[in-house]
Amino acid sequence: MNKAEVMEQLQPLVGTVVRQVQHSPRTKVIVTPEMVTLRPGSGGALVPINKPGVKAMANFIGMPAGMAKQLSPDTFGKVATELLSRKERYNLLMQEDENGPAIGDFSVFRGTGGIKAERVVDTIERSIPNAEFHRVNLFNDHSASIEVVGEQRQPVARGDLIRGGTMVTFSPVNTIAPSVRSFAVRCLCTNGMTSNDTIREYAFNGGGGGGGGQGDDIWQWFRQSMRASYQALNAIVTRYQQLKDERIPQNERAAMLEALLREAKISGEDADAVRAQAIENPPRNAYDVLNLITWASSHVIREPERIRRAQLAAADFTSKDTHARSCPLCHHRN
């Protein structure tokens, strides 16, 4: 995947229009049987909220879904206005539909501008030697992850090479703070088995010059984080080798796999596919079990949110700090 293809996949996020709201006594949610609108405090014009936007607003202000259904339109508007006022400052994410622009989502205010996707991609190319874009995932919170691998390769065991890389998660509209993680692809499988690891993880919590993260400080942070995460391959391979030494008794293999499937929230046909893979290639150690989950995240699961859950479960299983929590074998030994 080249830069142009990455940018094409990011386009749904890049094209989102953000409007900041400073809540004031004039801000009001108005509900009628026909529609829901918001009058921002900065002006008198009513802005329509589409159906997904109404649901997003209820989640944003912490209104239980059951309560929303029980309230009359007038009461719903008053309660929503009161709860929104506690946010003080927030973002409206605008969407274009057949009737013109409407509010499709609400998000926490994180500055006056988002993180430019094209510059993130450019920074990746400058930070990772001979970077290859592996995959792009778009999430429901208006964020994206870009998986990248470089030219570094190291063996976990003879014939089992791992390529080092980095995973960058960010939002062009600032719904989340950006983060950078170590990332690895197993070369043994034709299409690559992926796993993100928490040995090196970064979360940017500063304001960034310009309020929204467009100053030089955030780009320096990105460059340093990407290089450090890419250079963590030695630590990742060492940890994989330790997992390879964690032998699993034959009578406990199924229990460990089922525990990880639950942790990764892999169920239904996807879980059956993983079980079939385990029957064909029985996991003899913790590293084998890890690869079954990462195989699912790259070969079986297609929905980005579910891919993310599986990757996080794999990262927890890999991490020394959290491994014992998701490893039934460790529980048994303790």
pLDDT at 265: 94
Task: Categorise residue 27: left if φ over 0, alpha if ψ from -120 to 50, beta otherwise.
Answer: beta
Question: Which stretch, 12-21, 39-48, 110-119, 253-262, has highest mean pLDDT?
Answer: 253-262
Torsion of CA 207, 211, 215, 218, to 10 degrees: 30
Distance (Å, whole) CA 238 – CA 231 = 13
pLDDT tens across 49-104, in order? 999 999 999 999 999 878 878 889 999 999 999 999 998 889 899 988 777 889 99
pLDDT tens across 169-211, in order? 999 888 888 889 889 998 877 555 666 654 445 555 544 333 3
Task: Report residue 331's pLDDT band, with 50, 70 and 90 as the boundaries.
Answer: low
Higher-pLDDT residue of 125 and 333 is 125
Question: In this structure, what token pair is assigned to residue 93?
Answer: 């994410």
The residue-averaged pLDDT of 150-168 equals 92
Task: Report residue 214's pLDDT band, with 50, 70 and 90 as the boundaries.
Answer: very low
Minimum mean pLDDT range among 22-26, 106-110, 215-219, 271-275 = 215-219
CB 191 within 8 A of CB 298: yes
Percent of the chain with pLDDT over 70: 86
pLDDT at 188: 78
Whether 149 shows a pLDDT value over 70: the answer reads: yes
The residue-averaged pLDDT of 37-59 equals 87
Print burial letters for 28-62: b (CB count within 10 Å at least 16), e (below 16): bbbbeeeebbbbbeeeeeebebbeebbebbbebbe
CB 178 within 8 A of CB 225: no
pLDDT at 212: 39
The residue-averaged pLDDT of 279-283 equals 92
Q: What is the mean pLDDT of the chain?
A: 85
Place of tokens 């994206």: 144
Whether 241 shows a pLDDT value over 90: the answer reads: yes
pTM: 0.83
pLDDT at 198: 47
pLDDT tens across 13-25, in order? 887 888 888 888 8
Minimum mean pLDDT range among 6-15, 26-35, 42-51, 278-287 = 42-51
pLDDT at 276: 95
Whether 213 shows a pLDDT value over 50: the answer reads: no
